[in-house]
Structure 1
Amino acid sequence: MALHIKALNNDTSFLLTFIPSICPAEQKFPETFPGAFTILIDPIVPLKIDDVDPKPSSCISSLNDIAEPDAILISQTLPDHCHEESLCQLSPHIQSMIVGEPNAIKKVKRWKHFDLGNMYALRRYKNGRKDTLFRVELPPPSPLGTSGELTIALLNSKVSSAGSVHNAIGITYREPGSVLSRSRAMTGAPPSSRASSAKPMSSISSDMTFATTAASNPEPTLSVLYSPYGVSFDVVQPWILGHLVPESALPLVAMLHSTTVVDAPWYSGGNISTGYPGGFELARRLMPTTWIAANDRHNVLSATAKKVVRKDFDVTDAQMQLWNELAAKNVERKPKILRLNPGETLRVDRLTAEAIVKAMTRNTKEEEKIANPEEHTTTDHEELQ
């Protein structure tokens, strides 16, 4: 199994593609392979928000430039996460499930643009309560196969205020089982049943049903944590114990979390982003293969912006600090911290725990390199379309 993480802008818009192990690494369109699942996170394309300076760049000009995802995930009600102009670029008749924080879903419903039957408000996850997970059954690619499962969990405090930005979204993916031979999969072309569609993901979305039972013998599972403003470990812990451990979903393959600390005056809400210190506490306990820096652009949050205090962490410096702090605690595993440029795609392999960044260089030749923060630079990379 593998996960592709593509940065659509230099903020918090990402396209996640979960890929089953039967799909060959050289597959040109892995998102169309049976059992794959795509999630579009907090899409803002093109990004035009009054409170952002400088304006983040994007690798696409419209959400219609990418294939229709299986799900669109909205983590916050804020306009830099729940962006009407961007989302309404999409057809009202899309088959993508729109999933998100309850107030964000209410906001989208007020636009009266999408089918109400395709929108799902997440419930706050409770330890061991599968009914508080958003669950999607992934049908097997062959009659003798077994179903997989995609889950999304809203992780926030029971006492969180309505306007609190400190939450997290937990995602797990267990691939469907298959009896297809690898020789059939090595054709290199998308399966005919999906390649015939102009929007490859719409056919599989219509075949998905919500899972009602857990797997009797869970296979290894990919897990991702997305928290653009940070969240305490106490909030994440029930998800770890109640879902990740039983599903063999540790360690995390990826954590999407800011590295920049942002503090406002106490009367304006106090801490806005926990940044590196908050991310370190999560990384130390969850040991993700990769930590993707997110939500680190410069915001002008309000009229009190001049009183907002920022502390930026260079990714390389943060990487070395993380490794040094883990070494001091006798922890051998070394999560990698990366920042993706718009258009760059990170591939994380479940079995090898390798993190490989794919990008297009100026001479248009594709290159792959093991993600090493001490050696990896992205300044010479063009956008991946």
Structure 2
Amino acid sequence: MPTQVTAAVMTKSGQPLDLRPVILDDPLDHEVLVRTLAAGLCHSDLHYLDGSLEIELPAILGHEVVGTVERVGAAVSGLKIGDRVVATVTPACGLCRQCLAGRPTQCMRVDQMRARPRPKFMTTDGEPINALGGIGAFAEAFVVSEASLGVIDDAIPAKVACLLGCCVTTGVGAAIHGARVTAEDTVAVIGCGGVGIAAIQGARLAGARKVVAVDTSEQKLELAKRFGATDGVVAQREAVETLELLRAIEPEGFTHTIEAVGRAATAELAFNALGAAGTATILGLMPADTALRISADALVYGDRRIQGAYMGANRFLSDVDIFTDHYRSGRLNLDDMVTQARTFSSINEGFAAMTDPTTVRVVVEFEDAAS
């Protein structure tokens, strides 16, 4: 039987989310119904909420989430009722050319895997509601394919575990899988929100000899040093001035830069801050028509590269286990990334709190959260 749950529904860009009852469909054969424990507020969600990115409305946002398996479809084989799980927006089939080449975030069948004959969510009047990324985590429960879920240890607090669904797998993954940072490298990370802080930690885990944080906020830079940044640069109004500050730290340019903002200007700065043979890895989501201007000379004569790393080019199912071990050992600091935890009913205040320069990640916790 379909389930009535409370969800934070986006009905218009620039407006607060509307907390109201909605109808959640039954899980299909390969799907799982998950009772939500905690969800992180990601800047991607904020970009949809403020209209910077487009989404079909009405919609339920949210994709960085942990919960408990409550029901399983008839064909589900790898999960059982009671499992604690984190979700990803990039389910992988494991069989297509991209998956077999070790690039699961580029799975060629992801749309097919998300497709279903009827909506996951509906209004109480029967109107379909879109679910961001096929998840729609800003609800008391949600339905996703089994392939979208990774099992996580119950002992890890829910408000920390949810970070593994997006900002940690994206940021740490970008350093390890996307950029392939090594102990030889110098790295500049542009943007010190949740993904940027995770990228700084990823570069540190990979052994980078220098990790420079770049942000407009001096408070964010101080936070970044707690997570492994060796230096901090306050971004200036003019990109050329920021570049001069970066050159003062690394005169020949960086071997790697990681952009975690989602603006053309910061993506271009990431490329311009490279040294010869360096690689700029762009993580921030931008509108589809965004164009970047880079120097052809710097690209060709300097053997520089600029690349995307969607969701950090993560390998979700194995990454969850790897990053969990790093968290347990103290090498990956997730606790301090959660700078504010709020109840689900105050989710709109949580989004407002994201403008605070001391904020890394705001997490909303649900009534059933055990920890």
Normalised to the residue count of structure 1, the TM-score between the two structures is 0.29
Higher helix share: 2
What TM-score does the superposition give when structure 2 sets the normalisation length?
A: 0.29
